[in-house]
Structures are given as C-alpha cells and as structure tokens.
Amino acid sequence: MLEGVLLAMIPKSRQDNTYCKKSPFSDDGIINIGSMDYLKEVWYGTDDEDELYNFMTEHYNDTRYRGFNLHSYFGQRTIEIRFHSSTSDFEKIINWIKINLSIVDWAISHSVNDITRILTAHNCKTNYGIIRYLFKEVIQNNVLWTYYKKRFNKFNDNKVIGYYYKQEKKFDGQVEELDTLENSNHLGEVLGGLNEATENIQ
C-alpha cells in the first residue's frame, strides 16, 4: 500500500523498472504475515528449506532488485529502498530521506495494531485517501506534504487514482497545520549529518 504512495512521486521510468520492481505482497498479505519464516517464503516464492538457503545466501539474487529490498535484510540485516532515481539535486535527496525516515520512525515507535490501522485506513479504496491519511497521521510535515503534491502532479498529470477526481483535476488536497518531526531522534541525527556534510562541501 505505501509502495504505491512512494511510486506516485517518482518518474515513470522508475515505476516499472527492472532494478526496482514492485514487492510480491498484497495489502492483505502483509497484514497476515505472522512470522519471519513465512515472510521469507513469500519473498522468495518457495517453502523448500534448501532453496531458501540458496536464495538467501546468493548475493545477486533477483529479489534484491525490488524497490523495497528485503533480500539485503535476510543477508545483512539492512533494508534498501531502491525506488528513487539517481540525482544530485539536494531538495529531492533530502525530502526523499525525510519521507522514508518519517515512515520508519513512526513504525518503530508504534504497535502492530497501529501499523495495521494505517494499512487498512483506505476505506474509500482510493490512493487519495491513503496519501492524505499517511501525511496527516504518520509523516506530519507540511513542507513534505507540499513537496509530495508537486511531485505527484508532475508525474501523474490528470490520471485518476480512485474516484475522487474529475479527469482534468490535479491533486490539490489540503491538510490542517501539522507539527514537524524535530523531536525524532533518528531523523534529527541523519539530517544533522547531511547538513554538516553539505556545509563541508560548500
């Protein structure tokens, strides 16, 4: 579900790309995963123990080329997010990092029930509702909301996601004023390091 939200803000060339393919999980499938063993079976598409071992220890296994790469987690305990295209544009870099870290920080500090509530919040079955809910409840940053809308409009033009829009109308939703994430230790540390690195380059 969140994968679709991230895909909507990046170029079409990355939305259907060999090196950042979509994950094998459905929304319901993610919610129903109850163990690490079952997660591995769904990820690699097999429940054979020998095949799982071979796939997990294969450095260049095909599953690493998914936009949300869990192959690296099973081997190195790191998660790679590959969706974004290469860029030297600081605004794109910093906002992509902020959006992803906001989601990660929120997930770390909330219960499984809270996360399930987010994943099942799209009662209207439209991406519009999912996006609004994600930014209001999880990311909670108006600057990032404005940036996301700009990117969404650039890459989706007048395409309808759900029934909320008329065909010619672009995404122009609004949210009330929201608190920033300055108190997030993880996010603050990462952004502080980026700012320091930028100053050194200048």
Residues 154-182 pLDDT 10s? 887 654 343 333 333 444 554 444 444 44
Contact 97, 194 (CB under 8 A): yes
Report the candidate in 85, 108, 99 with the shortest Cα–Cα distance to residue 12. Answer: 85
pLDDT value, residue 7: 86
Range scoring the smallest mean pLDDT among 54-58, 131-135, 145-149, 182-186: 182-186
Across the chain, mean pLDDT equals 76
User: pLDDT digit string (tens) for 20-51?
Assistant: 898 888 766 677 788 899 999 999 999 999 99
Q: Which of 89-93, 118-122, 133-137 has the highest mean pLDDT?
A: 89-93
Measuring CA to CA, how many Å separate 45 from each of 40, 48, 69, 156? 8, 9, 15, 32
Residue 74: alpha-carbon gap to chain centroid: 19
